[in-house]
Structure 1
Amino acid sequence: MITVQTIVNAIIEKVWEFWTNPKHIQKWNNPTDDWHTPAVENDVKAGGKFKYTMATKNGSISFDYEGIYTKVDKFSVIEYHLVDNRTGSIRFEIQGDKVKITEIFEPEKAHPASEQKEFCQGVIDNFKKYTEAN
C-alpha cells in the first residue's frame, strides 16, 4: 500500500467541498504544472461513480482514474474500488482549524511504487496549495 498525507490550513467544510466538487477538482488534480484534468465526473456517495481524466498538457500521456465509492462518511472518510480492482481510502482528520488528509491506495503493477507515491503526493500537495489560496 502507498500512503500520502498533507495538512491543509482550512476548515473541514471547505476541504470537503474542494476535494469533491468537480469544478475544484479540475483546478487542483495534477501533480505538476505539466499536467491537467480536462474532465471530471464525481458522484460522492456509496455506489456513486467517479472518473477523472488526467493528461499531460502536451498530450503525450492521458489516462482515466475511475471507480466506484464503496463508503462515504461526509467530512471523515471516502473509500473506493477502482475499475482495475485496486482499492483505496481517503481519511479527513480535523485538527482544530486544519485538516489532515491521508490517502492510502494499492499501487498498480505497470509503474514503480515510488513513482506512484511521488505522483500522488504531488497531487495532494497541489490540493493543499489550491485550497489554501482560494
Structure 2
Amino acid sequence: MKTDNKETITVETTINAPVEKVWKYWTEPEHITKWSFASDDWHAPLAENDLRVGGTFHTRMEAKDGSFGFDFGGVYSEIKINELISYTLGDGRKVIVTFISQERDTKVIEVFEAEATHSNEQQKAGWQALLDKFKEYSELSHENENLKGEF
C-alpha cells in the first residue's frame, strides 16, 4: 500500500482464536492495557477507545521503571466490525488493520505509513513486537475463556 507517495510497512500474524474474540481483544480498553507494549519491561496503564468513524483512541505506553513513556492515538476513518479498522495517527500517518477469519484462526495484517525518525527496520520490528504481544495475549485469553466455559 502506498498513500500520498509515503512508504508503508506491513506486519502480520495469525492468531489461534476466532475473529470475534480477536476483535474484542484488539478494541476493548480492558484488553488493550494487557497487550499494547512491545516488551515485558513496558506496560500500558491507560487505554481509551471510541470505536466509531470520527471516534478517537488513546493508549499510554510507559517503561515500568518510569524512565520513558509516550501517548499513541488517533482518529478512526473506517470501521468494518470483525474485518477492518482504518485510522489516522496524531502525526497524520495512516494505518489500516485487517482481520481475516480463517476457520478457527484469525490473520491480522497492519499496514502503516513510515515515519522519518526511525529506520523502516526499527519501525517494523517495533510494530511486529506489539503484534506478537497481542497474539500472545489473545491466544492465552481465548484459551482461558474456553477453559472457564467447560465447567
Q: TM-score, normalised by structure 2?
A: 0.86
Distance 1:63 1:32 in 2: 15
Q: What is the SS of the residue equivalent to 1:130? A: helix
Counterpart for residue 105 of structure 1: 112
Q: CA deviation at 1:108?
A: 1.7
Distance 2:73 2:136 in 1: 24
Distance 2:38 2:91 in 1: 21
Name stretches of at least 5 consecutive residues in structure 2 with no aligned partner. Answer: 1-7, 142-151
Counterpart for residue 46 of structure 2: 39
Q: What is the SS of the residue equivalent to 1:128? A: helix
- The answer as to 2:25 corresponding to 1:9 is no
- The answer as to 2:105 corresponding to 1:75 is no
Distance 1:56 1:117 in 2: 20
Q: Which amino acid aligns with 1:51?
A: H
Counterpart for residue 94 of structure 1: 101
Q: What is the SS of the residue equivalent to 1:111? A: coil
Deviations 1:35-90 (A, max 9, x none): 11111111111111001111111122211111100000000000001111110110
Q: Percent identity?
A: 43
Distance 2:71 2:117 in 1: 15
Distance 1:55 1:106 in 2: 23
Counterpart for residue 18 of structure 1: 25
Name stretches of at least 5 consecutive residues in structure 1 with no aligned partner. Answer: none
Which of 113, 116, 125 pairs up with 2:123? Answer: 116
Counterpart for residue 129 of structure 1: 136
Larger Rg: 2
Number of paired residues? 134
Q: CA deviation at 1:121?
A: 0.5
Counterpart for residue 66 of structure 1: 73
Q: Which amino acid aligns with 2:44?
A: T
Moved over 2 A (4+): none
Q: CA deviation at 1:110?
A: 1.5
